[in-house]
Amino acid sequence: MAALAERLQPHTTLLVHGEAEARTALAEKLAQRNLPVRLPDDGASADLPSRRAGRRVAVVARPDPTLEDLVALARVAGRRPWTALDLADRHYGVATADGVAAIQALLASGGPFTPDRSRPGHYRLADREAPAPRAAETAWGQELVRQRLRAALGGEPDFVRASLYPKEHRAELRFQFPRTAGPRLADPLRALQQEMGWVLTLRTTPELGALQALAAAHLPPEVQPLGLPALHDQAGMVVVRVQGRAPLAPEAAAFRERTGYDLVLRGTVDEAATAPGPVLQPLAGAAAAGRLHQAAAIAAVKGALRAVGASVYHVAVRQGALEVTFLTPALGRRFEPAMAEIATRIGWPLGCAAHPQHAPLIGLVRQVIGRPILRGPGLHPGEERVQVRLAGAPSPEELADWQRRVLEASGYRLDVEVDAPAD
């Protein structure tokens, strides 16, 4: 595979399948051949340069990181072992041989990163800020901790809940926008740790529904969103595809102050004032992201959508999100407000499958028409219409009834052609 990539010379190689160790080994081979490579996390988004007029769009190179930069990257992503290749991918956007070598030199210099003896080539970030939990006889009990956290954090507008792990004397705190909550509450949370004898960590994943709602509320009135805001967590931004043109500077600044993310509009909008600023870090020792278990989340989506009258064919995990299959994408768009609310409750982003269900849609059209069809039904998903050819023309009232029923049931337009009579 490395030889194939070297012949093709891709701009960037994304390795998304296989075991972690196998992906890392292949990525190292590609980097040694000076081929840019990335190891994206499950559900991550990647912005790839496009080709226009046979030329590649230039990519701005980032300077080599400092040790403090690597510490910030590792703390945002939570506790996990790191390789030089992983950190090069996160810092530069793509991993190259020079970038990996620069970061390997920093890791080998010691400091906050220590070698993982069980996994050669991996390093762990020492958590020097979270105090060790007290002995069991001096740490507070679970109910006292719950009450104390409720009293201390109940007035925080972004606080969602605390998950307690009494065997570890640890509590994971969940905020709508952890990138800003962590720095703002760092000192009070450290004081609470000392007071209760429990370790407090922050869940680093934001509440997607709250983030999407706030992004929509900060859009200039002159633009119209073309879909739900998309979170690009590693890049520290929320991207909205819009139609229209307007300056964004005041809204983007307010959004970043509240959430820690840059608000970026894609489309015809003026993006001059949306350049990313420095990323705010959550509380040191934050735990890795969590969400409702996959099976429970799928069941919740199906039940909630059926409760609002939606017919759901399938729900599956696709690139870190739950993809809901309706009869057609047009039908799914009718339930986007409900899906946004469901996503807030389950902690998973939701999206609609991009293709219609061909056999059920064809069956629906045949049932509505109820007479022999000479040709079709033929589906045209790009135009969201279905076409049939009949031997005889229906009455205007009959045709209008067919078109209404197909549109209501599928969101598709019905076009009927009639064979011309022979001379």
The whole-angstrom separation of Cα 82 and Cα 283 is 19
Note whether 73 and 80 are within 8 A (CB).
no
Residue pLDDT tens, the chain, 423 long: 666 666 666 767 877 766 666 776 777 777 666 677 777 665 555 656 544 444 343 444 568 888 888 887 777 655 567 788 878 877 776 667 778 888 888 888 877 888 876 566 778 877 544 444 454 457 889 999 999 999 999 889 899 999 998 888 889 999 999 999 988 998 999 999 999 999 998 888 888 888 888 988 888 888 888 778 888 776 778 888 877 776 666 778 889 899 999 888 876 434 333 433 332 222 222 222 447 888 888 888 988 898 888 889 989 888 778 889 999 988 888 888 888 888 888 888 888 888 889 888 999 999 999 988 888 898 888 778 899 998 888 888 898 899 999 999 998 989 888 875 544
Q: List, in order, residues 6 or more apart from 120 with CB less than 8 Å away.
A: none
Q: What is the DSSP string of 7-58?
A: HH--S-EE--SS-HHHHHHHHHHHHHTT--EE-PPTT-----PPEETTEEPP
Do residues 195 and 100 both lie within one domain?
no
The whole-angstrom separation of Cα 193 and Cα 131 is 8
Note whether 35 and 5 are within 8 A (CB).
yes
Q: Which domain holds residue 238?
A: 208-267
Tell me, what DSSP letter sits at residue 268? S
- What does the chain come to in residues? 423
The whole-angstrom separation of Cα 369 and Cα 373 is 8
Do residues 336 and 319 both lie within one domain?
yes
Backbone angles phi, psi at 322, to 5 degrees: -95, 120
Q: Which CATH number does the domain housing residue 348 bear?
A: 3.30.70
Residue 2 token pair: 């490395």
Q: How many domains does the chain have?
A: 5
Do residues 111 and 14 both lie within one domain?
yes
Q: What is the DSSP string of 372-388?
A: --SEEEEEEGGGTEEEE
Q: Which CATH number does the domain housing residue 391 bear?
A: 3.30.300
